[in-house]
Amino acid sequence: MNPWDALTVILFLALVFGLTKPLGAYMARIFEGEHTWLTLRLRPLERAIYRLGGIDPGAEMRWTEYAVAALLFNLVGLLFLYGLQRAQALLPLNPEGLGPVPPTLAWNTAVSFVTNTDWQAYVPESTVSYLTQMTGLTVQNFVSAGTGIAVAVAFIRGLARQSAETIGNFWVDLVRAVLYVLLPASVVAALFLVWQGVPQNLNPYVRAVTLEGRLQTIAQGPVASQEVIKLLGTNGGGFFNANSAHPYENPTPITNFLETCLIIAIPAGLTYTFGRLAGDTRQGWAVWAAMAAIFVLGLATALVVEKGGNPLFARFGVDQAGGNLEGKEVRFGTVPSVMFAVVTTAVACGAVNTMHDSLLPLTGGVAMFNMQLGEIIFGGVGSGLYGMLIFAILAVFIAGLMVGRTPEYLGKKVQSFETRMAVLFVLAGTAPILVFTALASVSEEGTRAVFNPGPHGFSEILYAYSSTTGNNGSAFAGLGTNTPFYNFTTGLAMLVGRFAMMVPALAIAGSLARKPRVPAGPGTMPTHTPLFVGLLVGTVIIVGALNFFPALALGPVIEQLLLNAGRTF
């Protein structure tokens, strides 16, 4: 790795660390209802939203009410987005005259954007109108991210409160997440992207004649506004089919670095928000450290593999000075592309600036494993934090078994109900991946869409369901997923991966909120020490390995070993 590449990685990690405390402290003040520099400017709008929606901001909810509110809100969003896609041919802001989105694809897309996945089984610039992009997809990018943040804050309240029946108000948390966190940051970052050359207009597509005399259609539109929130809200997807590899979405190395940072900023900041609201910032830094350790391990592995180049070239004495450059943008090079790939799969974003299908098998395996862990390595906005906190509960449960004591986390006893919900959470993130991968691998509907033979074809299926269940949205390109079978099964995987994991998290929050805090005793395991960080990292990796190593062995692991031996398919 040359000095510039090393500096890029170091600068990125330093910036993530530097942003964590100020951004996390700001979000803690927002959700505590404290005054910030934006309060005087946006509080009237916040109050107007409450009046318009008939919301009492002072009324709090039990966990069951909170869960019902979140589910109903997202159900309404799903139905609205489905109807908008089906009716877009009759609506304005459709200068290309695009027709209605087919029913199964419209359902899959609606589920995708409501679940914060942004899985796209279609070519955006030739499928959805400007109106659908702005009032459907972009709006869902904001509110799906806001839902994740709201649930994370409710989970934190469950840990921080004692002898309480409520965990907050979903509507208030959602409004504050969108109004004070997502919108201001999106406006500033969108203006920066426009300055760098990202389009933001409602003009028809440009038709140009090439030097060969052929007609070329150049798509454009309100790109910058959607680009920012797809990254900041860890939504993923793209205004264009080429995603963040497209020069209109990601034109320069500066925008590439900014976009990589935008993906991870809020998930990292929420760890400090957790520590602040829990009354002990050391707890937040411990969670941050566990996330960062797993992230750095995956990034280091991927960088070594990709910079080492394709083993087949080495067998013939070909020197790959830049590493494996297949599928990567020459504007960025190997290291920024690999860093983007690891960040986007660790943080449940799914935006891509390189072709993941062209990654070497072991690098693709790292990306898959990131998603299979439950997207908790910083993870999606909100969902990554409450996912890692559930693993922390499992970690203290394991530690309690080892020392023969009732496990405790932040002074709350972890008992049978919390443990059952935590196991249900893990199963909800595991079962769709393995079950649907198995079904697709043995059914004609599943295998006919695989365009690559051998273990790589299996990896494409495994990646698809890992991505959709993990609400990531990225994909290996050698799988034709715009079929009724894949539209239906990936849609179900997205719903389970989002809401069947969200409900157990809220149940744990409600249960812990009712419990009194017990004083620490001689046998209480501190949960802010390096020892606990190591236990948490080990728990995450071991659970992931037990669940997914057999499947990974059939895909990227065996493919890498065969590639090293000179065997291709």
pLDDT digits (tens, 9 = 90+) for 455-476: 999 999 999 999 999 999 999 9
pLDDT of residue 312: 85
As a whole number of angstroms, the distance between CA 402 and CA 528 comes to: 19
Q: Is the pLDDT of residue 404 over 80?
A: no
Contacts of 394 (CB under 8 A, 6+ apart): 419, 422, 423, 426, 539, 543
pLDDT in tens, 490-501: 999 999 999 999
Q: Is the pLDDT of residue 69 over 80?
A: yes
pLDDT of residue 104: 95
Q: Where are the alpha helices (DSSP H) in 324-453?
A: 334-346, 361-372, 383-403, 416-442, 444-447
Tell me what percent of the residues of the chain surpass a pLDDT of 90.
84
**Stretch 168-177: mean pLDDT, rounded?**
97
Residue 552 binned pLDDT confidence (cut-offs 50, 70, 90): very high
- 367 with 341: CB under 8 angstroms? yes
pLDDT of residue 378: 95
Amino acid at 516: P
Pairing of strands 215-218, 408-409: unpaired
Phi, psi at 523, each rounded to 5°: -95, 5
In a domain, 177, yes or no: yes
Tokens found for residue 525:
């395991």
In a domain, 260, yes or no: yes
In a domain, 223, yes or no: yes
**470-to-27, 63, 345, 420 alpha-carbon distances in Å:** 25, 23, 9, 21
pLDDT of residue 226: 93
CA angle 476, 501, 394 (to 5 degrees): 105
pLDDT of residue 539: 95
pLDDT in tens, 489-546: 999 999 999 999 999 999 999 999 999 998 877 777 889 999 999 999 999 999 999 9
pLDDT of residue 477: 83
- 351 with 240: CB under 8 angstroms? no
- 391 with 376: CB under 8 angstroms? yes
As a whole number of angstroms, the distance between CA 448 and CA 435 comes to: 18
Instruction: Give the residue carrying structure tokens 């109050």.
Output: 47
Give the range of the structural domain holding residue 93, as residue numbers without chain letter: 19-266
As a whole number of angstroms, the distance between CA 156 and CA 167 comes to: 9
Residue 32 binned pLDDT confidence (cut-offs 50, 70, 90): very high
374 bridge partner residues:
none
- 233 with 142: CB under 8 angstroms? yes
In a domain, 91, yes or no: yes
Q: What average pLDDT does the structure give for the chain?
A: 94
As a whole number of angstroms, the distance between CA 86 and CA 99 comes to: 8
CA angle 502, 505, 508 (to 5 degrees): 155
**What is the distance of C-alpha 299 from the center of its chain?**
17
CB atoms within 10 A of CB 156: 27
As a whole number of angstroms, the distance between CA 425 and CA 31 comes to: 25
pLDDT of residue 402: 79
pLDDT of residue 400: 85
- 375 with 347: CB under 8 angstroms? yes
**Stretch 420-427: mean pLDDT, rounded?**
96
CB atoms within 10 A of CB 313: 12
pLDDT of residue 521: 74
Q: Where are the alpha helices (DSSP H) in 55-198?
A: 63-87, 103-114, 130-131, 139-160, 170-176, 183-196
Amino acid at 472: N
pLDDT in tens, 322-351: 788 889 988 898 999 999 999 999 999 999
In a domain, 324, yes or no: no
Q: Is the pLDDT of residue 375 over 90?
A: no
pLDDT in tens, 114-169: 999 999 999 998 999 999 999 999 999 999 999 999 999 999 999 999 999 999 99
- For the ranges 197-211, 244-258, 316-330, the lowest mean pLDDT is seen at 316-330
Q: Is the pLDDT of residue 211 over 80?
A: yes
Q: Is the pLDDT of residue 83 over 80?
A: yes
pLDDT of residue 323: 86
Residue 79 binned pLDDT confidence (cut-offs 50, 70, 90): very high
- 368 with 552: CB under 8 angstroms? yes
pLDDT of residue 24: 97
- 482 with 122: CB under 8 angstroms? yes
Residue 446 binned pLDDT confidence (cut-offs 50, 70, 90): very high
In a domain, 406, yes or no: no
**Stretch 230-259: mean pLDDT, rounded?**
93
Amino acid at 118: D
pTM, entire model = 0.95
In a domain, 416, yes or no: no
Q: Is the pLDDT of residue 5 over 90?
A: no
Q: How many domains does the chain have?
A: 1
**307-to-330, 334, 360, 552 alpha-carbon distances in Å:** 14, 7, 10, 22
Q: Dihedral sign, CA of 244, 250, 256, 261? A: negative
